[in-house]
Amino acid sequence: MDRPQSSSGDFDRRSRSSRHLTKAKTAASFAVLFALVATATSTTAQVPNGPVGLKRVGPLDPTLGFPAWYEDTSGLKLGVCKDPGRCFFRADPLRPVSFPQTEAQVLAGDFNFPDEMFYYAIENLEIAPLPARARVLYHVAIEGAFASGDVQLGQQVVFARLRIRLRDLVPESTYTIRHPYGAEVLETDVDGGVFYTRDLGLAVGNFQGALYGDIGPFLVPTGFDRNAPKGTFLSDGGLTLETLEGSPIGRNFVEYEGPGLTTLFPALVVAELPDTIRSTTFSMQGQVAEQYGVGIDNAYYSATGDAASSSMSTAVTVFAQSAEGQSLIARAQDGTFVPMQENGTSGHYFAQIDLGGANASLPANLEVHNVSDTPLTQATRANLTDLVTVQSAVYTLGTTTAPGNLVVQLVSTDKSTSRTMDVDLADFVVSPVLTGGQGDASVSQPVPATYVPPEQIVVRSSAGGITVAPLQIVGAGKSTQDPQVPGPTADAGLDQAVDIRTVVTLSGANSQGLVTQFLWAPPTAGFEIDNVNSQGAILQGTVTQAGDLSFRLTVIDQYGRASEDTVVVHVTDPNVVIDVVAVTAARYDNGKGLWDVAGTSDVQWDQRIDVYLALLDGNGQTVLVNGLPVKDPARHLGATFVGDLGFWRYRAPTSTFRPEAIPTAQDQFVVVESSLQGTASFRFRVTR
């Protein structure tokens, strides 16, 4: 947002970082983009779906794979801002915007779409008069990007970002930033700077997470009509500075409080507040959603009668979502469109489509159109399934003299033919059953007394329907009673270290016990399994991603008892630069509740350094691998960046709101990790 004013803001910082990528493109740039750079603790609280915050995320755009809009509590819906002149949208302005629909298009670069874009962003940047170099930056956004860093199918994420950056203020001093959505207390480093970022909602494909961020309702230019027509732009994308309205706490400005500010920014001094400056103008981008779209929440078919005698009657039930007050129509199997009704929940719609009798085939597809959009938008669903309902699921515990027993009563909406029902009882095999003339089926199967039942069952119909139901546990038996034979012990083998694109073979053959099943759970990314050579205790495949890949082995014995073990394959890419990181000092000031960790890196540019406490085992002892402490991902202290001469320093306070950052009496080591995979550990000291 600071493009016309400065090169120190959020957007220009990313362009500078990209120049430092070495031989192979590393994940460093994306780590900077998506990390939670916590140099201080926020004083604000999240109130999702209340009067403060965002309210709802719209249906997916079937072309982009991103939500059509985000709605705040005032009802304002903003879509992706795609105009290169009024939005930060780095597509080629001379070509039509296009999104890749196949992997081949991605590889060929056959698209015109940026790797990041915005639903909403505001920014306040103030630069001190020369010769001072001081500047203060406040930035919030609802941003869309890709977890892979580049445009990639299936990697879409949307997150809420709050970013504050201070430069050339008083070193090692406390500054309070009061902004439209709350307040933050930050401490500058030895250079008088702060780079603080909080991103929420980074899970791939889970677009609800952004609702829990620091944003909402949307701030708008003073006098802006929140009921403006579709496609209306909030502003000109930062070319004009605006005053704003809409803060949920009545603070339509940013105040910075701390030493030296009134001297550096005399034009912004607040007379009645010492050491405080106030800025009331912002650059902005955002666009009222051009289309509201439509999404199918659920759909299933029902069938009665007999297809062979042309007496079968079918119907389709459909639930859809869009904005409130839309005109939606639906049809199944190329039939006639019927209108959908908005049900009791605003923006949610329902219809039942009667396909009539004498229909010789089951409906295979469904279309829902939003005719209120111009051009109209639509959602489709192929391979319509039946609806399976579990009427009861009861597990009777076994005893020393009798086995346990599973009884399930279920019914399918397909009553026109017999359907196979598979009941999934965790790792225990239940024999399939067939439905009768009323679509109903019953399961009754003995289970070994030693079997430990799960909390729920999963039922899958041969017509495609899937349902999950809780399992009721009855009886006074002891399903966990140990038999005479000891339980199994899984052994996934020793950890391995290999180069990327190496074929690895893992073996669970050293597992102990009366093992009947070997179940491997490879990582979801970075491993291509060889299905031919992966049999029984053996798992084989090619590693395609650098980093630590975890493989979990579960073995099950003839009594249904299970044991797990995990093996890690450390994968390195010889084409990627790995820096050498060192910690030169580390201390925790118990009196001030302050961490101070410093060190060096042999890669002398603005790369990220994350700081963690070392992992402790169940006895409070430091976990060591090859004699070195291991980081605890759940106890992330924060992050900093390497300076121009290769030095870095992390200095930040803790608080009761982040107990994971407060060391216990058992903690002894900090572990640091750079964005280029360099690691180091150091025994910290505690001072008073």
Q: Do 265 and 331 lie in a common domain?
A: no
φ, ψ for residue 358 (rounded to 5)? 55, 30
The CATH code of the domain that includes 366 is: 2.60.40
Mean pLDDT to the nearest integer, 223-240: 91
The residue segments making up the domain with residue 320 are 295-382
In a domain? residue 253: yes
User: Are 366 and 280 found together in one domain?
Assistant: no
Tell how strand 472-474 and strand 388-396 pair up. Answer: parallel
Q: Residue 359 has what pLDDT?
A: 55
- Whether 74 is covered by a domain: the verdict is yes
Question: Where residue 604 falls among pLDDT bands split at 50, 70, 90?
Answer: low
Please tell me whether residues 320 and 425 are part of one structural domain: no
CB 435, CB 412: distance < 8 Å = yes
What is the chain's mean pLDDT, rounded? 85
Residue 23, domain member (yes or no)? no
What are the φ/ψ torsions at residue 107 (nearest 5 degrees)? -65, -35
Of 572, 593, 610, the residue at which a domain comes to its end is 572
Would you say the C-alpha torsion 281, 282, 283, 288 has a positive or negative sign?
negative
Q: Do 396 and 377 share a structural domain?
A: no
Residue 533 maps to a domain? yes
669-674, strands of its sheet edge to edge:
631-641, 608-614, 669-674, 679-683
> Among the residues of 208-335, which ranges form H helices?
261-264
> Residue 370 and residue 644: Cα distance in Å, rounded?
55
Give tens-digit pLDDT for 59-87: 999 889 999 999 998 999 999 999 888 88
Q: How confident is the model over 544-575, as pLDDT tens digits? A: 888 889 999 999 988 778 899 999 998 888 77
Averaged pLDDT, 667-679? 91
CA 5, chain centre distance (Å): 33
348 shares its domain with 435 = no
Task: For residue 4, tell me if it sits in a domain.
Answer: no
Given 288, 304, 327, the domain boundary residue is 288
Express each pLDDT in 323-354 by its tens digit: 999 999 999 988 889 999 998 788 999 999 98
User: What percent of the chain is modeled with pLDDT above 70?
Assistant: 89
Q: Which of 347-356, 387-396, 416-425, 601-610 has the lowest mean pLDDT?
A: 601-610
Report pLDDT for 458. 95
Q: Examine residue 464 and state whether it is found in any structural domain, yes or no.
A: yes
In the predicted model, is pLDDT for residue 30 greater than 50? Answer: no
Question: Which DSSP category does 219 fall into?
Answer: P
In the chain, the number of structural domains is 5
Q: Return the pLDDT at 679.
A: 92
150 plus 230 within the same structural domain: yes
118 and 168 in a single domain? The answer is: yes
Q: Is the pLDDT of residue 678 over 90?
A: no
**Cα separation of 597 and 585, whole Å?**
6
Residue 660: give its domain's CATH number.
2.60.40.10
611-658 tens-digit pLDDT: 999 999 988 999 998 889 999 998 999 889 888 778 889 988 887 777
Cβ atoms of 597 and 591 within 8 Å: the answer is no
Work out the angle at residue 575's Cα, subtended by the Cα atoms of residues 156 and 116, and round it to the nearest 5 degrees: 20
pTM over 0.85: no
Helix (H, G, I), strand (E, B) or coil at 358: coil
The answer as to whether 480 is a domain residue is no
Tokens of 14: 């990313």
Task: Among 253, 288, 323, give the residue marking a domain's end.
Answer: 288
The predicted structure's pLDDT at residue 439: 93
Span 203-230, pLDDT tens digits: 888 898 898 888 889 999 999 999 999 9
